[in-house]
Amino acid sequence: MRWTLPSQSLPSAWFNVMPHLSEPVAPPLHPGTREPIGPSDLTPLFPMALIGQEVSAEPWIDIPGEVLDVLRLWRPTPLIRAERLERALKTPARIYYKDESVSPAGSHKPNTAVPQAYYNKQEGVARLTTETGAGQWGSALSFAASLFDLECKVYMVRASYEQKPYRRIMMEVWGGSVVPSPVDEPDNPGSLGSAISDAVRDAAGREDSHYSLGSVLNHVLLHQTVIGLEAKEQLIAAGEELPDIVIGSCGGGSNLGGIALPFVPDAGVELLAVEPSSCPTLTEGRFDYDFGDVAGLTPLLSMYTLGHEFIPPPIHAGGLRYHGDSPIISSLVKTGRMQATAYPQGKVFDAAIQFARTEGTIPAPETSHAIRAVIDEALAAKERGEERVILFNYSGHGLLDLGAYNDYLTGQLDQV
């Protein structure tokens, strides 16, 4: 069963979680001075509108009309009840998911790519640079840049660049220009951290260019809250009140934040982050100030981190291969408002195949981390005979990750 909303029901403001955090997020520090940074430190990279949103304490921030016009190309996204999966699991739990895979780029990422492109265009920027892991973010920004007539340069983590030629072509269809990163080390499989260094260095060195980040930062999570806001309305249409638990996979935190942040004020709703065992930032990292990138060019952020020089193994969920995490998500986990768990790749793909063969759609490897946790939650609810309401974010499809599925089906997938 699916619940859709008419175009007019798209939220007209983003939900800002800042006033609802029990501990405020500590301010970013300047990489040179280690003093709190001011807006002027960020203007070489970001437009003022986004710098303002990064530190805003307003509870709601209006979405510009031109951004709404583009989001309406695919939003509101459907809320779907996974009845066939429930039946296969014989669980009394009711499982709902928000289908973010219906966007042109195939994931939740355009929710922030579009406003970022818009605000940059408004301030006269001609060109955006960014990094991408699995390619979801680079696709989203290339798409958004094409609609606002901006140039887009994407530094793609080399492991993904080589595993996923289709992702590169997708960006090129939208006019994006894509190079493997690190640019100067052809034998290095790369990581999000090092690709960020490449993209920041490029933007900082050119007058006409800004840098665009697809996760981690406060304004990015802010833009993603349309997901959770729509889900709240759709759950009511489905006859539910609040979910018992909200689940999302977590790399930098944007898809998780998007679905979970609007539920932070609802004390009875559990929130769960799911990450890969091979890159266990929230479950095994330390809470500390650290750089966002490998080269130490970015401000220091207060977050869980595995160390900014940590290079995760080349698992297929490229979007989750990040040493750090969103300061907002980190704060929620540190204060106990959110829990975190980690799964190895083999168990994640078991869940992905079960989902594809019951619900019909093929999930991204990143998304499949959330699905693994959902299935385990639903089985635990069956064990306890509990009618639990589970909501998760179906953050993207796996149609450009079929090479990973082939590895799984032919027994060549690294299980850890």
Q: Which residues bind a second copy (CB under 8 A)?
A: 1-7, 70, 72-74, 80, 84, 102, 104, 106, 143, 146-147, 165-166, 169-170, 172-175, 353, 356-362, 399-400, 402-403, 405-406, 409
Which residue's entry shows tokens 């280690």? 34
Q: Nearer Cβ to a second copy, position 55 or 179? A: 179
CB of 146 to a second copy, least distance (A): 5
Measured CA to CA in angstroms, residue 75 lies from 4, 301, 302, 363, 393 at distances of 9, 32, 33, 19, 15
CB of 6 to a second copy, least distance (A): 6
CB of 246 to a second copy, least distance (A): 22
CB of 108 to a second copy, least distance (A): 15
Q: Nearer Cβ to a second copy, position 3 or 392? A: 3
Q: Nearer Cβ to a second copy, position 134 or 260? A: 134
Q: Nearer Cβ to a second copy, position 173 or 380? A: 173
CA dihedral in degrees (182, 186, 188, 194; nearest 10)?
Answer: 0
Q: Nearer Cβ to a second copy, position 128 or 261? A: 128
Q: Nearer Cβ to a second copy, position 51 or 229? A: 229
CB of 408 to a second copy, least distance (A): 9
Q: Nearer Cβ to a second copy, position 4 or 339? A: 4
CB of 410 to a second copy, least distance (A): 9
CB of 76 to a second copy, least distance (A): 8
CB of 407 to a second copy, least distance (A): 10
Phi and psi dihedrals of 298, rounded to 5?
Answer: -85, 165
Residue 98: what residue type? K
β-pair type (300-305, 286-291):
antiparallel
Q: Nearer Cβ to a second copy, position 37 or 88? A: 88
Q: Nearer Cβ to a second copy, position 17 or 154? A: 154
CB of 70 to a second copy, least distance (A): 8
CB of 187 to a second copy, least distance (A): 25
Q: Nearer Cβ to a second copy, position 114 or 274? A: 114
